[in-house]
Amino acid sequence: MGDVARLHDALRAFDARGEFGEEDYLALRRLVSSVGRVDAALLDGFIGLFFERHVLDDPRRAELLALSHGELERAVRHRFKQVVSGGQDSHQAWHALSAHVREALDSLAGPGASGYPSSISSRQGFSAIAVEQAVASVWSELRRKPSAREATQELFARYVAGALPAEASHSSSREFPAVIGARLDAQRLARGIVALLSDDEKDLMRAQLDGQPLEAWATGRGVSRATAYRLLSRIKSLCKVEFDERSNRTRLEVLDALRLHL
């Protein structure tokens, strides 16, 4: 069965019984994976957003169900492209903010004590002075110099994400499928874990996921075995906290997602 036919059957099953399984999700993923040149680390998130807007919504789902196979393929790809395009404001804001953050990290000599500013925006966009103050506060909060990605993630969450326009929710007679919920939950967990790791810890986790022995990593990184085991212990403790009360499916999804974020 081709991906379009499987997706058509999956939409019927979801409409009738609320069922949407792993193979159904993979068919949808393959169908839209080449649309909009989406980064692999963001693809599942955009698929979740597409599902929320165009499948959970009863009228829009009915529109898709009424289409032929060829029409369905074109409609899904077109609507997914619209979802990706709608996320451009977020990506543009991220890239603009990250540039200011890198400049701030280059100029700062140490952490700050004045706290987070009330805003990091100006009429022209982001305020370089306010971003520098905010980055200094992140440094103080972490008790170490943050990476550009860590600082950008923190400032984006604090100042930008909540200000971006959100599409109004639509009524639905179905719940969000567990298969997509697990993937989105895994993406959030993976981003949260990576944001808390130092550069050495990220490199060690990447090596562990690739199956590299701990001793070989320590030798290549130029650190002692004791240091390597201490770093691994912290990683395991952090993952245990994040994994508690999560399903086995979500835990496995997190491991896959971590490879994309490290």
Give me the CATH code for the 180-261 domain, please. 1.10.10
Q: Which among 231, 146, 223, 153 is positioned nearest to 190, based on CA atoms?
A: 153
User: Residue 49: how many CA atoms within 13 Å on its side-chain side?
Assistant: 18
How many H-runs (helices) and E-runs (strands) does the chain carry? 13, 2
In the structure encoding, which two tokens stand for residue 238, read together?
């952090």
The dihedral over CA atoms of 57, 62, 63, 67, expressed in degrees to the nearest 10, equals: 140
Provide the residue-wise pLDDT of the chain in tens; the chain has 262 residues. Answer: 799 999 999 999 999 999 999 899 999 999 998 887 777 777 888 888 889 889 988 999 999 999 999 999 999 999 998 888 766 556 677 878 888 999 999 999 999 888 899 889 877 788 989 999 999 999 998 889 999 888 888 888 788 765 554 454 455 777 888 888 878 777 778 877 888 888 899 999 989 988 899 999 999 999 999 999 999 998 888 888 777 767 776 777 787 778 777 7
Q: Which among 6, 11, 5, 9 is positioned nearest to 61, based on CA atoms?
A: 11
In the structure encoding, which two tokens stand for residue 84, read together?
């990706």
Strand partners, 122: 125
Is residue 149 within 8 Å of residue 191, measured between CB atoms? no
Q: Which among 114, 117, 105, 189 is positioned nearest to 144, based on CA atoms?
A: 105
Phi, psi of 246 (to 5 degrees): -100, 150
